[in-house]
C-alpha cells in the first residue's frame, strides 16, 4: 500500500506542478497573441474541414464503386459475365443479374440506376428509367469517348463522368456516371461494361455546409458540382488561391478538386475581457488541476492493476471477464481495445463452429494467438516499473506502442492489410521488444513503392518476424537485422509476387530446417511451428495451391522464409478493396 500511495503522490504532484506551469505560460502567450492566433487558427480550421470533406467524398465514391462491383463477388456471375463466350440462356441470366441489381440498389441508396452492357448485345438494367442517351455497348462507348478522348476499352479500366440526364418529367438533372470496362477472366479481352449513376446532389450534400459558393471541379477546372447549380459547366482557374478567397483541396485519387470560400470571422473580444476571463479561468483551472491530478494518478495505477489481473485470468483461459475502467486515458483505451478483442474472439469462435473442421481449428487458434497475454503482461509490468520511477514519458511510449500494435492486430475486422500496414505492425512489435527486452534488431526493407499497396491476409508478415526475433536472436544475441524484400518473378501469365524475410541470426541445421518445413505443411500444427504453420494455412485458404512457403537456412549464418502469391489474385484483392 505504501508503494502504491508513493506512486500516486509522485504522479499527482508532477501533474499538478506541470499543469500550473503550462497554464500560466499559456495565459501569457494567449494574452499577447490572442487576436493573431485566432485569425490563423480560423483559416487552418477551414482548410482542415475542407480536406476532411474531400476525403469523405472520395470514400463515398469508392464505397459506391465497391458496392456496384459486388455483382462479381459471386463466382457463377463472374464466370458467366466475364467471359467472351455468348450467353447460353439470356432470360435466366437476365433474371439473376436483375435480382442482384435490385440488391445493389437497396444496399447503396446513392445509386439511381445500374446497367450491364455486353458486346454481344446482352444487357440488363435496373433503377430509374430515364433518357440516359445510350441503349447498348456501342452507343455508351461513343458518349464516353466524346467526354474523354483518351479513353479506350484497351487502355482504361474505369472512369467517372459528369453528365446531365433528361428526366421523364422534362427536367434536366446533373448525375455522375461510372463506367467500368469488363474483361474476360482468361484472355483479358473487353467483353462489356458496367454503368451506374449517382445523383450530383449526393456529393453536393457532403460539402454543402461550406455554403452555396462551394463547388467541385475536374482536373481541367470545369465545375462538375456546385451549391449553385447554374455554375456547373463553367471554367475556373485552379491554383490561384489567395488569403481570404478560395481554398482548393484534391479529392482522393479522382483527379477532382473541392473548393470553398472560407468564412473570415474573427473573435472580437476586447483585451480587458480576455484578460479578466483568463484570470477567472486560471483560478478555476488551478482547483481543477489539483482534483484532476489526484483523480488521474489514482485512476491510472488502479486501472493498470485491474487490467493486469484481467490479463492473468485470460492467460488461464477465462474469456468471460471484461475491463471496467472509465478513466478515458491510454490505459482505458488499451483496456477497451482488449475488451473488443475478447468480444471478437468469442464471436469468431461461435461463427467458426459452423464452418469446416479444418478452417475452425486454424482460424480459432489464430484469433486466440493474437491476444498474446504474455506480451501484454510483460509490457504492462515494464510500464508500471517506469511509472514507479516517475519516468512517465517512457511509460506512455510503451503503452502507446502496445495500443498501436493491438489496434493493427484487430484491423477493424478487415480481412486484408496492405504491405505498408503490415510493416507498421512489425515496427510496433519490434519497438515493444526493444523497449521491454533490450534487443536492438534492425528492420531493413527492400520494397519498391509499387508493392506497398498490395494487400495480403491480415497479420501475415509479423508472425514470421516474431519467429525470427524469438528464435534466431534468442539467448545473448542482442543485435542483428531482419530484412524484408519483395519482387515479381515468373512468366507474365504465371507471375507471382515473392516476399522474402531474412535474418542474420543463429540459423538452423539442415535436419531441423527440413523438419520444420514438413511440419508447416501438415493439416494440423505439430511441434513449435504454429506461427509459420498458421501463416501458410491462411495463405493456402485465400490463394490456393499456387501459394508457396519455402525455408532456407545455414547454421550460424542466416535463416530465410520465402512466400509466393499469384500476382493476378493479389491485384484482384486490391481492386475489390477499392
Query: What would the mean pLDDT of 53-68 be, rounded to a whole number?
Result: 87
d(CA 472, CA 504): 8
Q: Which three cell numbers stand for residue 343?
A: 468480444
Query: What would the mean pLDDT of 361-366 be, rounded to a whole number?
Result: 49
Give tens-digit pLDDT for 339-363. 887 788 777 767 655 555 455 445 5
pLDDT in the model for residue 329? 66
Q: Which three cell numbers stand for residue 250?
A: 484534391
Write out the DSSP string of 45-109: HHHHHHHHHHHHHHHHHHHHHHHHGGGGGSHHHHHHHS-SSPPS-HHHHHHHHHHHHHHHHHH-T
Q: Which three cell numbers stand for residue 3?
A: 508503494
Per-residue pLDDT band for 446 (boundaries 50, 70, 90) equals very high
What residues contact 269, with CB distance under 8 A and at least 6 apart? 34, 277
pLDDT in the model for residue 502? 94
Among 196-210, 272-286, 472-486, 502-516, where is mean pLDDT lowest?
A: 272-286
Per-residue pLDDT band for 207 (boundaries 50, 70, 90) equals confident
Half-sphere exposure (Cβ direction) of 63: Cα atoms closer than 13 Å: 11
Q: What is the DSSP letter of 530?
A: H
| CA-to-CA separations, 441 to 461, 557, 561, in angstroms, rounded | 16, 16, 17
Q: Between 33 and 434, whose confidence is greater?
A: 434
Q: Between 442 and 339, whose confidence is greater?
A: 442
d(CA 467, CA 303): 32
Per-residue pLDDT band for 240 (boundaries 50, 70, 90) equals low
What residues contact 284, with CB distance under 8 A and at least 6 apart? none
Nearest to 119 by CA among 88, 86, 149, 152: 86
Cβ atoms within 10 Å, residue 397: 15
Write down the H helix ranges in 417-562. 419-437, 462-467, 510-520, 530-543
Percent of the chain with pLDDT over 90: 7
As a CATH number, domain 436-578 is 3.30.565.10
Percent of the chain with pLDDT over 70: 78
pLDDT in the model for residue 323? 75
Query: What would the mean pLDDT of 238-258 be, rounded to a whole number?
Result: 73
Give tens-digit pLDDT for 129-170. 777 777 888 888 888 888 777 778 777 777 888 888 877 777
Tell me how many degrees the CA angle 134-138-143 measures, rounded to the nearest 5. 55
Half-sphere exposure (Cβ direction) of 186: Cα atoms closer than 13 Å: 6
| CA-to-CA separations, 149 to 146, 159, 180, 223, in angstroms, rounded | 6, 12, 16, 19
Per-residue pLDDT band for 412 (boundaries 50, 70, 90) equals low
Per-residue pLDDT band for 266 (boundaries 50, 70, 90) equals very low
Domain ranges across the chain: 204-260, 436-578
Query: What would the mean pLDDT of 551-560 be, rounded to a whole number?
Result: 90
pLDDT in the model for residue 372? 58
d(CA 115, CA 101): 8
Contact 246/47 with Cβ under 8 angstroms? no
Does 11 score more than 70 pLDDT?
A: no
d(CA 456, CA 8): 45
Q: Between 150 and 259, whose confidence is greater?
A: 259
pLDDT in the model for residue 563? 92
Q: What is the mean pLDDT of the chain?
A: 78
pLDDT in the model for residue 501? 94
Does 210 score more than 80 pLDDT?
A: no
Q: Between 253 and 215, whose confidence is greater?
A: 215
What is the enclosing helix (H) or strand (E) of 344? helix 330-352
Contact 293/15 with Cβ under 8 angstroms? yes
Amino acid at each position: 500500500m505504501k508503494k502504491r500511495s508513493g506512486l500516486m503522490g509522485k504522479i499527482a504532484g508532477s501533474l499538478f506542478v506541470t499543469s500550473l506551469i503550462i497554464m500560466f505560460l499559456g495565459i501569457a502567450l494567449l494574452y499577447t497573441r490572442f487576436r493573431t492566433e485566432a485569425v490563423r487558427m480560423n483559416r487552418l480550421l477551414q482548410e482542415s474541414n475542407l480536406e476532411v470533406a474531400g476525403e469523405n467524398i472520395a470514400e463515398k465514391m469508392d464505397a459506391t464503386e465497391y458496392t456496384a462491383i459486388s455483382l462479381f463477388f459471386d463466382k457463377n456471375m463472374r464466370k458467366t459475365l466475364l467471359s467472351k463466350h455468348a450467353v447460353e440462356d439470356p432470360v435466366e441470366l437476365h433474371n439473376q443479374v436483375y435480382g442482384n441489381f435490385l440488391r445493389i440498389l437497396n444496399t447503396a441508396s446513392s445509386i439511381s440506376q445500374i446497367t450491364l452492357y455486353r458486346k454481344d448485345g446482352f444487357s440488363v438494367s435496373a433503377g430509374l428509367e430515364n433518357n440516359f442517351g445510350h441503349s447498348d455497348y456501342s452507343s455508351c462507348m461513343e458518349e464516353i469517348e466524346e467526354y474523354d478522348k483518351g479513353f479506350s476499352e484497351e487502355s482504361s479500366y474505369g472512369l467517372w463522368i459528369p453528365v446531365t440526364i433528361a428526366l421523364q418529367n422534362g427536367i434536366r438533372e446533373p448525375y455522375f456516371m461510372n463506367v467500368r470496362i469488363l474483361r474476360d477472366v482468361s484472355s483479358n479481352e473487353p467483353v462489356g461494361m458496367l454503368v451506374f449513376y449517382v445523383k450530383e446532389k449526393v456529393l453536393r450534400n457532403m460539402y454543402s455546409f461550406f455554403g452555396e459558393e462551394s463547388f467541385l471541379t475536374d482536373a481541367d477546372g470545369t465545375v462538375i458540382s456546385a451549391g449553385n447549380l447554374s455554375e456547373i459547366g463553367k471554367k475556373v482557374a485552379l491554383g490561384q488561391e489567395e488569403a481570404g478567397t478560395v481554398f482548393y483541396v484534391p479529392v482522393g485519387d479522382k483527379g477532382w478538386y473541392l473548393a470553398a470560400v472560407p468564412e473570415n470571422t474573427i473573435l472580437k473580444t476586447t483585451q480587458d475581457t480576455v484578460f479578466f476571463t483568463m484570470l477567472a479561468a486560471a483560478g478555476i483551472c488551478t482547483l481543477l488541476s489539483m482534483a484532476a491530478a489526484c483523480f488521474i494518478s489514482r485512476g491510472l495505477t488502479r486501472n493498470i492493476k485491474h487490467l493486469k489481473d484481467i490479463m492473468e485470468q485470460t492467460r488461464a483461459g477465462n474469456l468471460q471477464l471484461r475491463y471496467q475502467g472509465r478513466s478515458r486515458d491510454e490505459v482505458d483505451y488499451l483496456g477497451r481495445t482488449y475488451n473488443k478483442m475478447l468480444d471478437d474472439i468469442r464471436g469468431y469462435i461461435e461463427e467458426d463452429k459452423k464452418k469446416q473442421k479444418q478452417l475452425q481449428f486454424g482460424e480459432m487458434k489464430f484469433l486466440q494467438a493474437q491476444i498474446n497475454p504474455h506480451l501484454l503482461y510483460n509490457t504492462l509490468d515494464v510500464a508500471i516499473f517506469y511509472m514507479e520511477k516517475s519516468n512517465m514519458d517512457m511509460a506512455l511510449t510503451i503503452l502507446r506502442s502496445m495500443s498501436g500494435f493491438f489496434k493493427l492486430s484487430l484491423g477493424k475486422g478487415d480481412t486484408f492489410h496492405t504491405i505498408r500496414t503490415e510493416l507498421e505492425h512489425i515496427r510496433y512489435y519490434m519497438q515493444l521488444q526493444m523497449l521491454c527486452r533490450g534487443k536492438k534488431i534492425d528492420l531493413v526493407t527492400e520494397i519498391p513503392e509499387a508493392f506497398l499497396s498490395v494487400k495480403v491476409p491480415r497479420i501475415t508478415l509479423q508472425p514470421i518476424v516474431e519467429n525470427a526475433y524469438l528464435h534466431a536472436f534468442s539467448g545473448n544475441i542482442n543485435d542483428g537485422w531482419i530484412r524484408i524484400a519483395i519482387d515479381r518473378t515468373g512468366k507474365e501469365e504465371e507471375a507471382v509476387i515473392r516476399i522474402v524475410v531474412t535474418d542474420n541470426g543463429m540459423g538452423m541445421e539442415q535436419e531441423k530446417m527440413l523438419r520444420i518445413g514438413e511440419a508447416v505443411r501438415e493439416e494440423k500444427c505439430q511441434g513449435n511451428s504454429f506461427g509459420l504453420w498458421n501463416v501458410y494455412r491462411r495463405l493456402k485458404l485465400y490463394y490456393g495451391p499456387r501459394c508457396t512457403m519455402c525455408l532456407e537456412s545455414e547454421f550460424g549464418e542466416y535463416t530465410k522464409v520465402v512466400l509466393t502469391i499469384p500476382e493476378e489474385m493479389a491485384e484482384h484483392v486490391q481492386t475489390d478493396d477499392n
